[in-house]
Structure 1
């Protein structure tokens, strides 16, 4: 029986991933509870299980005192000295009281305690495992939905994806495999609760670490990230090695690396810019794909005043201010964007201009992909066509003048006829 007992402990250790020592301690506590229930709850007992043979023994513990009040807990000094002359007051003497059998009720009590201790130990191990993984990325399978809360199976525990942490427009179906970011791990009465997120900027960072080996090995460092989940994101990267292009490393051959992340985030657009220790240049890079004329940094107010060409103003601000908002989050600076004409009317001089007083465009560290360059050039060209007010004005004026001359001549002819008729009447 003892051999079978040890084998059962080994099986539990493999199945539950709980150490054998924890299981034995749980069984010892269960036997103490069972003994007290069967043989007196006031007794002070200790249970010892031999780790090699599996045999267990129960010891009753008594304090050495002068006057005995409760014989179940105390023993007189004289009686103690008959056992061993070295005993003194306040010493503890143990007597073996191992029973032949515990009985059915005691055995059931022991079983409940063992199961409860194993469950607590399992929950404790799960909590320790996932609490150490806060800020990490996990992969799980969607199990069910309750009140817009999504429960994701992570293997040993179910994680909760709250509505506020779900991407806008993203649908979750049973059996879908998703990646998420561990935000927090809580201890509850039902065990550890893992809170995950699909909208946290940390998810973007961890996905790039998985896809880009240069970030994982430390060659390329991801300095900052800003995100509006489901719509658009920006990340700033920096290379410790001058021979490694951080933007190119993140984009990957033919854009494969960044495309894999875009697919995981359900089509979310990602801007990759080069980080720079100069705040002005970093702000200019962060506003890409817009072209920037100059950036003035106001340290006291933590404000960056940016001047852009007139036709680039809407591109710099972005749809509903999205580009400027993401750039501000990325850099940590408040960004005030003015067009070139606005800057001239307000007499705002940029910090970078040449001897003739003309603005010098920033040479951005970010090299645009071909499709982005074509898109910007097409945008500029279409804007210029609409913006050529002088040509349109001359053409409209010339047509207006011709029409006006013709109508004027007809009016004069009509007037002359009217005067002749008047003369005849008179």
Structure 2
């Protein structure tokens, strides 16, 4: 070794960012193993690298003992005192055992250590760089494909696009340029691994941030996203500025902004709806393009509701294979049951009929109980009056329920 080695370490530190001290520490450990392997020695060995001259020295470390049991690991107190009268039992003495041809072995070992450290440093640099892009969007070039992944070149690294992260309506060919969402970055034993997605809902969020400045600066906020990749998506937006229309801002002049996103996603349909603090209004908006007549919440389950729509819009509200209702449920977080106006009228009619039947059954039961009893005429009259009052009360409750339902429908 010589000063050329020191110059190489300095250049490595400047170009690759690999600390010289880390390389020297690894080199010394590797040279210890190389010495024991090449010279068949089992004693304690230390390797010292001179950072000023670039020289390497090998030392055998022995402990001072009263009686020598292993000459490779121990030295007698008598021999130690001949070297230095200050030595005592338990002291460690270093004897230089640098072989004459050790320079060749040292050079080969140094080359291997340096290459290894360079690879590790490059992996760390790539990992640190791409971990900053996690949960963000990047543009890459399709390289190749196998049975498990599509490999996308992101510049310094090849990312993997799994089958579940691909869009079913897309076919990827080599050299295609695509925008991908970096879902996660892992530092594995084989180096950093970047996983990307085209089907992730947050890809849509990042695309809106790119196309709509108001979304990027926070004036318009994307509250929730429901997506069936490659087919249809719903996006709920709200404005933090009362003078800004959130839906119109995202759609853009003549639909230019949303059209750019649709083109990037190869024709995926996009519904942009306005979020509202009132769950009923938000749920009605989420069923766009269908119009909701009424939203009725389930008292037993606060996260369930029934939406009433005009008869001619029932199929539109449900959507193809239930897609519109399914996406609306994902977007709002409510379990949505959709009924037509005719179905709701029939439901209320059955409910009303059932209430009258229940009241009549109760009166009939009271009459039977009275007839089978030993009541006097006055007692029977009192019971009959109570039964009639109960029947009237039941009729009034049904009427009030109908009136409340009519008011709610008008609203």
TM-score bin, normalised by smaller chain: 0.7 to 0.9
Alignment match, 1:369:
none
**What is the aligned partner in structure 2 of residue 242 from structure 1?**
242
Query: Following the alignment from structure 1 to structure 2, what is the Cα–Cα distance between the partners of residues 88 and 299?
Result: 87
Residue pairs, 1:22-421, within 5 angstroms: 22-49=22-49, 54=54, 56-62=56-62, 68-74=68-74, 85=86, 89=90, 101-105=101-105, 107-131=107-131, 133-147=133-147, 149-186=149-186, 188-298=188-298, 300-301=300-301, 302-347=303-348, 357=407, 359-360=409-410
- Helix, strand or coil at the partner of 1:347: helix
In 2, the alpha carbon distance for the partners of 1:50 and 1:222 equals 61
- Of the structure 1 ranges 109-118 and 229-238, higher mean CA displacement relative to structure 2 is found in 109-118
- The verdict on how the C-alpha distance between 1:74 and 1:289 changes in structure 2, with shifts beyond 3 A counting, is farther
Structure 1's unaligned 5+ residue stretches are 362-426
Q: Structure 1 CA distance, aligned partners of 2:21 and 2:406?
A: 83
Query: Taking structure 1 as reference, are residues 206 and 100 closer, same or farther at Cα in structure 2, changes over 3 Å only?
Result: farther
Question: Any conservation in 2 of the 1:68–1:76 contact (CA below 8 Å)?
Answer: yes
Q: Distance in 1 between matches of 2:330 and 2:296?
A: 18
Residues of 2 paired with 1:84 and 1:137: CA distance? 72
In 2, Cα distance between equivalents of 1:147 and 1:300: 49
Which whole-Å deviations, capped at 9, do the CAs of 1:344-384 have from their partners, x for residues lacking one? 111199x9x999737357xxxxxxxxxxxxxxxxxxxxxxx
Deviation digits for residues 283-329 of structure 1 (CA, Å, limit 9, x no counterpart):
11211121111212336532121111122212211122111111111
Deviations 1:79-130 (A, max 9, x none): 77875959784x6565665555425455434433432343234334434544
The alpha-carbon deviation at position 271 of structure 1 amounts to 1.5
CA contact (8 A) 1:34 1:102 kept: no
TM-score by length of 1: 0.71
**Cα pair distance change 1:104/1:164, threshold 3 Å:** same
- Tell which deviates more after alignment, 135-144 or 244-253: 244-253
Shift of 1:156: 2.4
Distance 1:30 1:215, change over 3 A: farther
Task: Tell me how far 1:3 sits from its aligned partner.
Answer: 4.8
SS in 2 for 1:168: coil
Q: Is the 8 A contact 1:33 1:110 kept in 2?
A: no
C-alpha separation in 1, matches of 2:52 and 2:218:
48
How many angstroms apart in 2 are the aligned matches of 1:204 and 1:281?
24
Whole-angstrom CA distance in 1 between matches of 2:48 and 2:141: 44
Deviation of 1:76 after TM superposition, in Å, equals 6.0
Asked whether the equivalents of residues 30 and 111 of structure 1 are also in contact (C-alpha less than 8 Å), the reply is: no
* 8 Å contact from structure 2 (residues 148, 163) kept in 1: yes
- Distance in 2 (CA, whole Å) between partners of 1:341 and 1:308 is 9
Aligned alpha-carbon RMSD (Å): 3.6
Superposed CA deviations along residues 9-45 of structure 1, whole A, max 9, x for unmatched, are 3544465454444444443333333333334453434
Distance in structure 2 (CA, Å) of the matches to 1:330 and 1:76: 83
**SS state of the match for residue 339, structure 2?**
strand
CA distance in 2 between counterparts of 1:237 and 1:65 reads 81
Deviations 1:224-264 (A, max 9, x none): 11111111111122333333333333333443332222222
